[in-house]
Amino acid sequence: TLTDAEKAAVLSLWGKASGDLEALGAEALDRLFRSFPQSKTYFSHFDTSPGSADLRNHGAKVLGALGEAAKSMDNLDQALSKLSDLHAYNLRVDPGNFKVLSHCIQIVLAAHFPAEFAPEVQAAWDKFLAAVSAVLTSKYR
């Protein structure tokens, strides 16, 4: 679990990022698809070109879910329970994809908010994204 300082760091940068979920989310997905092309196989029904409506839509959903999770950092299992079912039972996304996406989200945050993305803020986000990913992949078997 995150310390109080880490939670505060996640929430403070989230405050900035939440203003533009579509653009930031689309960029994170574009980076995911380019750096880890296998990840595209889950999105064969999408237009995966950079900045497409599909990427903006889905990017906003993913980041929006992170924003909701950030409000429940003490209770991620419960907050993400439905999404955890979806990823484990319906989507069956290979867990390796979560690591790369988490990395890409951090790169997007660093590129857009360089002044805020201090090392301790990055460390907090890394821990937060790892915790979210752990819940979303916890029901796999």
Interface pick for ligand ZNH out of 55, 70, 93, 135 (rule CB under 6 A):
93
Is-contact 9 124, C-beta < 8 A? yes
Interface pick for ligand ZNH out of 83, 108, 121, 124 (rule CB under 6 A):
83
> Among candidates 86, 108, 106, which has minimal Cα distance to 9?
106
At 47, list the tokens.
Answer: 């237009």
> Could you give the CA distance from residue 41 to residue 52 in angstroms, rounded to a whole number?
17
Kindly state the helix (H) or strand (E) to which residue 116 belongs, with its residue range: none
Interface pick for ligand ZNH out of 9, 24, 62, 104 (rule CB under 6 A):
62
Indicate whether 97 belongs to the interface with ligand ZNH (CB under 6 A): yes
Binding-site ranges for ligand ZNH (CB under 6 A): 39, 42-43, 58, 61-62, 65-66, 83, 86-87, 91, 93, 97-98, 101, 132-133, 136
